[in-house]
Copies of this chain bind each other. A is one copy, B any other.
Amino acid sequence: MNAADADANVDTGAEPDAPTETLTTSVVGASGFAGGELLRLLFGHPGFDVTQATSREYAGRSVGMVHPNLRGTELRFTEPTDLEGVDVLFAATPHGISMEHVDSFREAADTVVDLSADFRLPNAAAYDEWYDGHSRPELLDEAVYALPELSRAGLPGAELIAAGGCNATVTTLGLLPLVESGIVGDSGENDRSTDSERIVADVKVGSSEGGAGGSKASSHAERSGVVRPYAPTSHRHEAEIEAQLGLRLSFTVHAVDMIRGAAATCHVFPTEAVSKGDLWKAFRGAYEDEPFVRLVAGGGGVYRYPEPKAVAGTNVAEVGFELDPRNERVVVFAAIDNVMKGAAGQAVHAANIALGFDETSGLKFRGLHPVGAP
């Protein structure tokens, strides 16, 4: 423990005392990257006891065969068809699977945290516009969006939680202070003709977003060193951001050479002039009590703005900004680890709140310096 570490809103690296009782938990879809990360976090969490990890492909094999950082644990993958009863079930399955199996998930567990896109959007209409039709639209309203910075109030006691998409998360965290402070958005009827709606989110992401499978485009020889426009327009996370923030934005996603990490650069043109002081006030106001958001805007040293490297392996989002008076523009930068804050870390954070654990429980890793492609 560290006496010097007096800043309350910072992870300390030291775990709290374990609760007297632990909750049983399972991970469905545990051989993927997010599933493996959930296992890692839950193994280190004082309040959870992992009793099951499912994988069709690897049933019977040890979890450490797929995830080398989990070697030494005795847990083996089981078939997803035999779900054990647990207190909390985390589902890290591909899109479309959770809505199909949600009844069995909820039968197996009191609390279900879903990491897919199935329950992120607010209603069936939104889902139909961006995906392929929802089989359980009545649950969209019940599901609580997991991102605590946005939806903390709804999480305690929630029984169906939908972790946000990684690109949506990083962009939303960048723009949220501007929305909350009224610097952008809501010109009445959300109409695109206002300048405040000309928001550009230019996102750069790592290869772990593509998941654990192999393809030519994701092979090392083809994927290394790229700046590749992989979603020039119409990325589905655009829908999620617009639903959460109530504003339109133009969203483009590039693949770059890192493994973990998502960075959003948001170019915003407020209709009324803003000062740096306004921005500091907006960002501090939004995040001063948040344990997992760090403001980084200028200053000395090598790391002056948010960078995925600086948060790799952690549940921290870095957020910062710069003012461009010449172009009446605000540039907002946000960076997360897509597997953590953008998936498994966000899910555990939400579960902590839902279940009454300390918010930062199991999520205290600070990250490394130096570190390579995150």
Q: Is the CB of B72 within 8 A of A9?
A: yes
Interface residues of A in 326-360 (CB under 8 A from B): 326-329, 331, 333, 335, 339
Shortest beta-carbon distance, A373 to chain B, in Å? 3
| A120 in contact (CB, < 8 A) | no
Q: Which residues of B contact A156 (CB under 8 A)?
A: none
Contact B373 A323 (CB under 8 A): no
Interfacial chain B residues near A50, Cβ < 8 Å: 2-4
A66 located at the interface, meaning its Cβ lies under 8 Å from any Cβ of chain B in the complex? yes
B1 and A227 within 8 A (CB) = no
**B-facing residues in A270-320 (Cβ within 8 Å):** 294, 296, 299-310, 312-314
B10 adjacent to A261 (CB under 8 Å): no
Residue of B nearest to A328 (CB): B192
Distance between A177 CB and nearest chain B CB, rounded to angstroms:
17
Task: Output the nearest chain B residue to A221 by Cβ-Cβ distance.
Answer: B370
A218→B218 CA distance, assembly (Å)? 9
> In angstroms, how far is the closest chain B Cβ from the Cβ of A338?
11
Decide: A10 near B73, CB < 8 A? Known: A220-B224, A372-B258: yes
Stretch at the interface among A12-20, A81-89, A182-190: A12-20
Residues of B within 8 Å of A200, CB to CB, are 200, 202, 267
A267/B7 in contact, CB under 8 A: no
Does A54 sit within 8 A of B, measured CB to CB? no
Which chain B residue has the least Cβ–Cβ distance from A223?
Answer: B220
Q: Are A12 and B65 in contact, CB atoms less than 8 angstroms apart? A: no
Q: How far is the CA of A308 from the CA of B212 in the complex (A)?
A: 19
Task: Specify which of B69, B335, B374 is in contact with A372 (CB 8 Å cutoff).
Answer: B374
Is A256 interfacial (CB 8 A cutoff)?
yes
A340 nearest CB neighbor, chain B only:
B368
One of B1, B14, B44, B224 near A224 (C-beta < 8 A): B224
Instruction: State whether the Cβ of A246 lies closer than 8 Å to any Cβ in chain B.
Output: no
A132 at the binding interface (Cβ < 8 Å): no
Q: Are B226 and A307 in contact (CB under 8 A)?
A: yes
Chain B residues with CB under 8 A of A265: 202, 229, 252, 254
Closest chain B residue to A22 by CB distance?
B1
Report whether B257 and A225 are in contact in the complex, using a CB–CB cutoff of 8 Å.
yes
- Across chains A and B, which 4 residue pairs bring their CB atoms closest together, nearest first? A13-B44, A225-B373, A372-B373, A10-B72
* Selected A-B contacts with CB under 8 Å, 7 pairs: A1-B48, A2-B75, A13-B40, A69-B310, A195-B198, A233-B324, A259-B370
